[in-house]
Chain A
Amino acid sequence: VIEGDDLELFERSLRSATEQHTGDALDTALRDLGWADALSFDTRAAVSCLFEAQGAAGVTSSALDQVLAFALGRALDDTTAVVLPPTGGWSPPATADGGRLLVRGLLTALRGSVLVVAQSGDAAVGAVVESAGLETRVVRGIDPWLGLVEVDGVVGVVDAVGDEIAGWEHAVALGRIALSHELVGASRTASALAREHALERVQFGQPIARFQAVRHKLAEALVAIETARAVLDAAWQDRNPQTAAMAKATAGRSARTVARHCQQVLAGIGFTTEHDLHRYVRRILVLDQLFGSHAVLTKRFGEELAATRTLPRLVPL
């Protein structure tokens, strides 16, 4: 594991990379830093440090693809992307039908080929297919800076329907953890922007940070961030799909709370594109929807608890 000074240095280099680069350039920087290796020998440090930094800087990379491929036990070269489930979902993004794959999902970036996991009866299969055979659309949507690509289509698979692949559930779990860290990072920046504004903006002869109504919104935002962080901590401590889902639900809900309060504190300027806040609000809205939104995950979780009449155990002391 990466500890002490090494961890600090690792974190600092990742932060610096995310502050300077985005997209393909950030992927290159991460390759130079050996981030993908770190992913295998200290998954927690690699995922938590990078995704918090990426969220805080509001930049993009293919790190999520790496995380999913790692959880699926597949190597990933830089010409291959991993197909993510469509907005709001977490089932495998394809179904196998005879010798064909029906694909529908999202990509973090357009690459020459894609690794796609498909449901095939009770099993899941994985295949690498050419992107050219699929319909792709660069998403503008609510957050054009995220650069997602929508992918749709039917492909014939050369080698039957690919190999059997295990661990989709684990890939979903690790993906959720990574996105939760990114949500926490984005929340921290949104909160810092709102704090700065509250201290600078003067009304009635004093900074609005003096007003309790404003202070309490910022305090609530911090409580929300620390809540998400605590659950993430516990999810790493007690790693399983259920704790990962709880972390994602909590991080999504917290980030939405942060976005709402910070936008209110920033008021008019926070509703314009002249201030950076809107980018973080947009990013939070999209990240909340990847691998299940907080609302859907929470309801699903409650249904599961009510059906089984059992609660998850609390993280041990």
Chain B
Amino acid sequence: VQLDEFRTKFDDWLDQHADELAPSFSGGGTLDEQMAQIAKVRHLTFDAGWARHGWPEQVGGLGGPALLRAYLSEALTARDLVYSGVYSLPEVLGPSVITFAPELAATVIPPLLRGDEVWCQGFSEPGTGSNLASLTCRAVRTGEGWRVTGQKVWTSLAQYAQRCVLLTRTGTVESAHRGITALFVDMDAPGITPRPIVTMHGEEEFCEVFFDDVLVPLDRTLGEVGQGWAFAMDLLPYERSTALWQRAAFLHRRLRDVLETADASLIDPAKLGEATQLVYAFRARSRATLHRMANGETLGAETSIDKVLLATAEQAVFDLVAEALPAAVVIGDDPVSARWRAEFLYSRAATIYGGSSEIQRNIIARRLLELGNDR
């Protein structure tokens, strides 16, 4: 009932404020433009109250089920108001920060939701991709606070971020997952240097970030010292599921766009049928996951299935796009073509980001099928 009411009222509000909310650029825009657009949409939806639903009152929310914020992200994506690829970062990072550091969350979550601030996720390192427990970015406890030295990579939006949720090594390297601590770091602290990396789809969407003796106050520890692994394990299921919910709405919209614009003779019906079924399947799977969470279940390894399914659906959709709109993808230089090309190229990373499909299958094999260790 709450969801239905929210849906109707929010849709009305979006209709009424369509002009205000619309992006000022055509096609996909640059990343700077997309980030400005996301900030604008967050501002408007937060100030009107919509973006506060589904978040706890202690962090500036209005309470209510998390399904409400899922609908918000879906509606914004379906109307093409926000860049789907990075819009849901607060869904990845927010809930675990609330769980592990409720006091800190009360002050830092509202500006995140309102779009006043951007956060980034400092997990991966040059020598630490899928094997997160081997990370080496070191934090040493001193009288003044933590002193952090090391390097992160694939850190989305680090050059825009005011804050970083950072995993650091506080024990010995041999202590593996036991010696990791999560910190909440101000990106303007002296000693932090983000260096953007240009991706194949032409954006500086992620960075490598260098930490050179960066001072982080002790009260910025997320949870207890040595709880970094638990923090990461709490967060990853959301990264692999609820944060992905709006991707079905995005893929559905882009499938519709390709159907409306492509030359019919270039559409292979079998591929169109299968891509549509896969998007529908991902949506159905993701829906079930959200409802399990709404019923109080803790999400776990089964979310790896959501991630594999999304990657499969996304690549099927954009493989179809490459066949149906070849000129746009291959030679077009206008904003609309550039967007199709960027999205096609971005889809190549769907089986890589957020834990590669191979890592997801390892998790499925070990945790869901209980096939024992593979080493």
Q: List, in ascending order, chain B residues with CB within 8 A of A305's CB.
A: 259, 269, 272-273, 276
Q: Which single residue of chain A is at the shortest CB-CB distance from B75?
A: A317
A309 and B365 alpha carbons, distance in the complex (Å): 40
Q: Is A314 a contact partner of B252 (Cβ separation < 8 A)? A: yes
Could you give, for residues 336-375 of chain B, a 1 whenever the CB lies within 8 Å of some chain A CB and a 0 otherwise? Answer: 0000000000000000000000101110111011011111
A216 and B361 alpha carbons, distance in the complex (Å): 6
Q: Is A233 a contact partner of B269 (Cβ separation < 8 A)? A: no
Q: Does B31 contact A (CB under 8 A)?
A: no
Q: Is B287 a contact partner of A317 (Cβ separation < 8 A)? A: yes
A249 and B309 alpha carbons, distance in the complex (Å): 16
Q: Does A19 contact B (CB under 8 A)?
A: no
Most interface-central of B259, B290, B364 (chain A CB within 10 A): B364
Q: Does B70 contact A (CB under 8 A)?
A: yes
Q: Does B267 contact A (CB under 8 A)?
A: yes
Q: List, in ascending order, chain B residues with CB within 8 A of A299's CB.
A: 269-270, 273
Q: Is A222 a contact partner of B255 (Cβ separation < 8 A)? A: no
Q: Does B116 contact A (CB under 8 A)?
A: no
Could you give, for residues 280-321 of chain B, a 1 whenever the CB lies within 8 Å of some chain A CB and a 0 otherwise? Answer: 110111011010000000000000010011000000000000
Q: Count of chain B residues with Cβ under 8 Å from any Cβ of A?
A: 50
Q: Is B272 a contact partner of A302 (Cβ separation < 8 A)? A: yes
Q: Shortest distance in angstroms between B34's beta carbon and chain A's nearest beta carbon?
A: 24
Interface SS of chain B: helix, strand, loop or mixed?
Answer: helix
Q: Which single residue of chain A is at the shortest CB-CB distance from B290?
A: A317
Q: Does A218 contact B (CB under 8 A)?
A: yes
Q: Which single residue of chain A is at the shortest CB-CB distance from B255?
A: A311
Most interface-central of A215, A220, A246 (chain B CB within 10 A): A215
Q: Is A230 a contact partner of B358 (Cβ separation < 8 A)? A: no
Q: Is A234 a contact partner of B269 (Cβ separation < 8 A)? A: no
Most interface-central of B248, B285, B358, B366 (chain A CB within 10 A): B285
Q: Is B374 a contact partner of A309 (Cβ separation < 8 A)? A: no
> Given contacts A220-B361, A298-B274, are A312 and B280 in contact (CB under 8 A)?
yes
Q: List, in ascending order, chain B residues with CB within 8 A of A295's CB.
A: 270
Q: Does A223 contact B (CB under 8 A)?
A: yes
Q: Does B3 contact A (CB under 8 A)?
A: yes
A118 and B270 alpha carbons, distance in the complex (Å): 30
Q: Does A210 contact B (CB under 8 A)?
A: yes
Q: List, in ascending order, chain A residues with CB within 8 A of B67's CB.
A: 317
Q: List, in ascending order, chain A residues with CB within 8 A of B19's CB.
A: none
Interface SS of chain A: helix, strand, loop or mixed?
Answer: helix
Q: Does B74 contact A (CB under 8 A)?
A: yes
Q: Does A264 contact B (CB under 8 A)?
A: no
Q: Which single residue of chain B is at the shortest CB-CB distance from A317?
A: B71
Q: Shortest distance in angstroms between B245's beta carbon and chain A's nearest beta carbon?
A: 8
> Given contacts A216-B361, A299-B269, A302-B274, are A195 and B283 in contact (CB under 8 A)?
no
Q: List, in ascending order, chain B residues with CB within 8 A of A309's CB.
A: 259-260
Q: Does A219 contact B (CB under 8 A)?
A: yes
Q: Which single residue of chain B is at the shortest CB-CB distance from A308?
A: B259
Q: Is A300 a contact partner of B285 (Cβ separation < 8 A)? A: no
Q: Does B277 contact A (CB under 8 A)?
A: yes
Q: Is B308 a contact partner of A223 (Cβ separation < 8 A)? A: yes
Q: Shortest distance in angstroms between A87's beta carbon and chain B's nearest beta carbon?
A: 20
A248 and B280 alpha carbons, distance in the complex (Å): 13
Q: Is B273 a contact partner of A222 (Cβ separation < 8 A)? A: no
A312 and B279 alpha carbons, distance in the complex (Å): 11
Within 8 A of B (CB), among A221-267: 222-223, 226-227, 230-231, 233-234, 246, 249-250, 253
A195 and B371 alpha carbons, distance in the complex (Å): 8
Q: List, in ascending order, chain A residues with CB within 8 A of B224's CB.
A: none
Q: Does A145 contact B (CB under 8 A)?
A: no
Q: Does A70 contact B (CB under 8 A)?
A: no
Q: Does B76 contact A (CB under 8 A)?
A: no
> Given contacts A233-B284, A311-B252, A311-B276, are A199 and B371 in contact (CB under 8 A)?
yes
Q: Is B284 a contact partner of A199 (Cβ separation < 8 A)? A: no
Q: Shortest distance in angstroms between B273's beta carbon and chain A's nearest beta carbon?
A: 3
Q: Shortest distance in angstroms between B267's beta carbon and chain A's nearest beta carbon?
A: 5
Within 8 A of A (CB), among B84-101: none
Q: Shortest distance in angstroms between A124's beta carbon and chain B's nearest beta carbon?
A: 26
Q: Shortest distance in angstroms between B117's beta carbon and chain A's nearest beta carbon?
A: 28
Q: Does B264 contact A (CB under 8 A)?
A: yes
Q: Shortest distance in angstroms between A252's beta carbon and chain B's nearest beta carbon?
A: 11
> Given contacts A226-B305, A299-B270, are A231 and B284 in contact (CB under 8 A)?
yes
Q: Is A230 a contact partner of B284 (Cβ separation < 8 A)? A: yes
Q: Is B369 a contact partner of A298 (Cβ separation < 8 A)? A: no
Q: Does B249 contact A (CB under 8 A)?
A: yes
Q: Shortest distance in angstroms between B358's beta carbon and chain A's nearest beta carbon?
A: 7
A211 and B3 alpha carbons, distance in the complex (Å): 46
A231 and B283 alpha carbons, distance in the complex (Å): 9
A-B contact pairs, 10 of them (CB 8 A): A223-B309, A226-B285, A226-B305, A230-B288, A233-B284, A250-B281, A295-B270, A302-B272, A314-B280, A317-B7
B binding-site residues for A, Cβ under 8 Å: 3, 7, 67, 70-71, 74, 248-249, 252, 255-256, 259-260, 264, 267-274, 276-277, 279-281, 283-285, 287-288, 290, 305, 308-309, 358, 360-362, 364-366, 368-369, 371-375
Q: Could you list 17 further interchain pairs (A-B, Cβ under 8 angstroms) beyond the known A210-B374, A219-B365, A231-B281?
A: A195-B371, A212-B374, A216-B358, A218-B365, A219-B362, A223-B309, A230-B285, A231-B284, A233-B284, A301-B276, A302-B273, A309-B259, A310-B256, A310-B259, A311-B255, A316-B7, A317-B71
Q: Identify the 10 closest CB pairs spanning chains A and B, nearest first.
A: A302-B273, A302-B269, A234-B284, A215-B365, A302-B272, A219-B361, A230-B284, A298-B273, A230-B285, A219-B364
